[in-house]
């Protein structure tokens, strides 16, 4: 019988792509999601349990019904600005609810956990590319909430033997190459979908926040990783844990930095749209450069990104945006 996996937040952007990969890999999959930002229709080939993982009774019900071999956790609030304005919301959900989930797992003897972490735990980089040894100094409540969970997982491993892999994303982007799934946040805050919304005439222009950074063209540089490649790393990490592997932490990115202007230029190539630009003020907390050193994931997990090219990432996201724009008309 195939092993069962619980995907928390499996109706969201990355979680739904993960569910699709798990189903294709032959796992029995269930999703727990409160649908506050996820979409019911994004859950394909898996049972959906609607509820809040901060609710111990809901967690108990789902874990008792499924008895999963492992839990993969994608259910977090992710907006940096909102975390600064309302830190309590982020600590309640990202930290408190995760502890409820972990304690439920302990009660049922489930001791394998994959955690969706973030490059925000590093704060302003002291050097790039950023490897796993880089100092952790998050500069906003979102990053701190993720770093708290990583530290909590270290404690749960030492005390209870709960094994975990934390995967620290840089900038997830792109969409299912077959067009079934894609990025659909409301409100949208990520650069690539915002640029593509301009190309599909859902927005009049893209705002570039700051053009005076110490970079070649004055705009911030980020490392974009295709959501399918991201999920492939999760699948490899899951297999590692299921095979008896120890807890681990990996940075995930392509190791290639692209500036905001370079992303816009690539989007113009891919879409054929002029994509008007307006210049805005810098946003607080935006480091000039964030680029990953993912050599550990490549070496230990055998991870090899398939869609590292920026134009390919944009092309998949553009196919999704055109379809999504049609749905909204």
Q: Which residues participate in catalysis according to the annotation?
A: 142
> Of how many residues is the chain composed?
329
How far apart (Å, rounded) are the C-alpha atoms in residues 228 and 316? 11
Of the candidates 13, 133, 3, the one whose C-alpha atom is nearest the C-alpha of residue 68 is 3
Task: Give the CA distances from residue 49 to residues 31, 61, 79, 110, 236, in Å, rounded to whole numbers and listed in that order.
Answer: 6, 10, 25, 18, 25
Return the C-alpha torsion angle 142, 205, 310, 115, nearest 10.
20
CB atoms within 10 A of CB 262: 16
Is 31 strand, coil or helix?
strand
Tokens of 312: 């390919």
Is 73 strand, coil or helix?
strand
DSSP for 163-214, please give it: EEEEEEESEEE---TTSS-----SS---HHHHHHHHHTTSSS-EEEE-S-SS
The alpha-helical segments, DSSP class H, found in the chain are 13-24, 56-66, 80-85, 87-90, 98-107, 141-160, 191-199, 227-242, 260-271, 295-296, 310-328
């Amino acid at each position: 019988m195939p092993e069962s996996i619980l995907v928390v937040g499996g109706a969201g952007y990355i979680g739904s792509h993960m569910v699709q990969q798990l189903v294709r890999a032959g796992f029995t999959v269930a999703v727990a999601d409160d649908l506050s930002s996820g979409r019911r229709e994004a859950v394909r080939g898996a049972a959906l349990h609607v509820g809040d993982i901060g609710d111990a009774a809901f967690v108990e019900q789902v874990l008792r019904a499924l008895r999963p071999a492992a839990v993969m956790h994608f259910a977090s609030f992710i907006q940096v600005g909102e975390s600064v304005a309302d830190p309590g919301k982020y600590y309640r959900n990202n930290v408190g609810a995760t502890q409820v989930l972990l304690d439920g797992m302990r009660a049922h003897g489930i001791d394998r956990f994959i955690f969706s972490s973030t490059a925000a735990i590093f704060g302003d980089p002291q050097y790039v590319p950023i490897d796993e040894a880089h100092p952790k100094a998050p500069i906003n409540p979102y990053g701190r909430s993720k770093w708290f969970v990583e530290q909590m997982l270290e404690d749960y491993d030492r005390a209870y033997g709960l094994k975990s892999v934390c995967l620290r994303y840089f900038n997830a982007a792109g969409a299912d190459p077959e067009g079934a799934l894609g990025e659909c946040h409301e409100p949208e805050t990520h650069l690539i979908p915002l640029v593509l919304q301009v190309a599909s005439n859902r927005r009049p222009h893209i705002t570039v926040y700051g053009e005076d950074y110490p970079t070649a063209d004055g705009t911030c540089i980020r490392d974009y990783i295709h959501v399918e490649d991201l999920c492939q790393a999760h699948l490899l990490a899951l297999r590692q844990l299921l095979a008896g592997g120890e807890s681990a932490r990996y940075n995930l990115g392509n190791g290639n930095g692209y500036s905001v202007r370079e992303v816009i230029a690539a989007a113009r190539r891919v879409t054929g749209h002029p994509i008007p630009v307006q210049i805005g003020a810098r946003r607080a907390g935006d480091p000039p450069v964030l680029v990953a050193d993912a050599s550990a994931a490549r070496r230990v997990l055998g991870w090899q990104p398939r869609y590292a090219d920026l134009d390919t990432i944009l092309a998949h996201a553009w196919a999704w945006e055109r379809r999504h724009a049609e749905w909204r008309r």
